[in-house]
């Protein structure tokens, strides 16, 4: 293995709300690993959970952790040297039953950037498996490359929903993944997409993304009443709240599919069982994505989906705490940290 001699700047989470930027030894370069100069890291809702709660779901912070799994950069040593790449954050074991069945996202032994014991991308240099680096076509920025991970999550959720040509779709929660789901559902042939979102700027973004109807949660609730009911074939919940889950269930027609994408606070989701049972709903839970990068790159390169408008704020690595505060506030859409800014 090789090690570069100069220190690198790293933003590391030490506790809830406690991010420290410091110099650390450079990463080790092992066989089948490349050294990447990280140029763009998107901040996700899961990063905000780690930052605000020092954990996510049943995973707790038990060592200082480098966050960030929506990543792009330039290879400085290894395969694809000199190329701009998107970085797949998931390292499944490839030998368990889930992996052998093609469900690497469900691997119980997966190592995932910015989670548990695997440091993520909020640093200047990253050593990463070469086979998880995906070259970016000309015309795609590195910020676009960082957006491929949330796009992959949206595509995986879309696959679970089985959106059919002419279907009615609801997207409850219009953060980055919800907005990408609106675009993807339209591209898949949905006749109508309804968006539900409490924040005005995200409702505007939902309309720009192609939603035919954009409602506040209060407006959506009025549609649940008898004789005024609006129902869809597939409903996606992308907010991580019980209220959003209820809205998705209420908007779904009898026999519909409901895909839960959001990550709740406190590791608990609750909903009215009678509502889901009487409708005979199929409820699915989306976990990350599986082998979505080539597909996502192709869709963006062909301009079938547009990820660029979702990036609304950019910060340097020294301002990582401010970037996480901005993401937590939801005042924009996608916050990106550029470590060499």
In whole angstroms, give the CA distance from residue 55 to residue 61: 5
Measure the CA–CA gap between 126 and 110, rounded to whole angstroms. Answer: 18
Q: 106 is written with which tokens? A: 């469900």
pLDDT tens, position by position, 260-305: 999 887 778 888 899 899 999 999 999 988 788 999 999 999 999 9
pLDDT for position 289: 85
Walking along the chain (341 residues) 10 residues at a time, the average pLDDT comes out as: 75 95 91 94 92 85 94 93 95 92 89 92 96 94 95 96 96 96 97 96 97 93 68 94 93 95 84 90 91 92 95 96 95 95 84
- Check residue 22 and give its pLDDT: 96
pLDDT of residue 5: 67
Q: What are phi and psi of 35, to 5 degrees?
A: -100, 125
Write down the pLDDT at residue 226: 59
Beta-bridged to residue 11, according to DSSP, are 21
**Model pLDDT, residue 228:** 56
CA distance 126 to 28: 9
pTM: 0.92
Q: What pLDDT is stored for residue 56 in this prediction? A: 81
Per residue in 226-253, is it b (16+ CB within 10 Å) or e — as a string?
Answer: eeeebbbbbbbbbbbbbbbbbbbbbbbb
Q: What is the DSSP letter of 332?
A: S
Return the axis-axis angle of helices 200-209 and 176-187, rounded to nearest 10°: 20
pLDDT digits (tens, 9 = 90+) for 53-66: 888 877 888 999 99
What domains does the chain contain, in order, with CATH numbers? 2-147+307-338 (3.90.180.10), 151-285 (3.40.50.720)
For residues 169 and 209, what is the distance between their CA atoms, to the nearest angstrom? 14
């Amino acid at each position: 293995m090789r090690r570069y001699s100069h220190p690198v700047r790293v933003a590391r989470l030490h506790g809830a709300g406690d991010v420290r930027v410091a110099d650390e030894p450079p990463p080790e370069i092992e066989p089948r690993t490349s050294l990447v100069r990280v140029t763009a890291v998107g901040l996700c809702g899961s990063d905000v959970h780690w930052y605000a709660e020092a954990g996510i779901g049943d995973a707790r912070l038990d060592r200082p952790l480098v966050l960030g799994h929506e990543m792009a950069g330039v290879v400085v040593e290894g395969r694809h040297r000199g190329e701009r790449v998107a970085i797949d954050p998931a390292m499944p074991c490839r030998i368990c039953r889930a992996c052998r069945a093609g469900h690497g996202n469900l691997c119980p032994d997966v190592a995932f950037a910015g989670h548990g014991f695997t440091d993520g991308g909020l640093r200047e240099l990253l050593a990463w498996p070469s086979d998880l680096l995906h070259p970016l076509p000309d015309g795609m920025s590195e910020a676009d490359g960082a957006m491929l991970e949330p796009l992959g999550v949206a595509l995986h959720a879309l696959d679970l929903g089985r959106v059919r040509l002419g279907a009615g779709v609801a997207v409850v929660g219009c953060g980055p993944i919800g907005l990408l789901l609106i675009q993807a559902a339209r591209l898949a042939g949905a006749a109508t997409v309804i968006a539900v979102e409490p924040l005005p700027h995200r409702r505007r973004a939902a309309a720009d993304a192609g939603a035919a109807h954009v409602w506040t949660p209060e407006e959506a609730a009025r549609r649940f009443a008898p004789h005024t009911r609006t129902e869809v074939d597939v409903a996606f919940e992308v907010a991580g709240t019980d209220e959003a889950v209820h809205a998705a269930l209420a908007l779904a027609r009898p026999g519909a599919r409901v895909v839960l994408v959001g990550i709740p606070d406190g590791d608990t989701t609750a909903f009215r069982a009678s509502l889901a049972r009487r409708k005979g709903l199929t409820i699915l839970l989306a976990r990350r994505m599986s082998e979505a990068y080539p597909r996502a790159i192709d869709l963006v390169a062909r301009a079938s989906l547009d990820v660029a408008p979702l990036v609304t704020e950019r910060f340097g690595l020294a301002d990582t705490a401010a970037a996480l505060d901005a993401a937590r506030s939801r005042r924009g859409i996608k916050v990106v940290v550029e470590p060499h800014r």
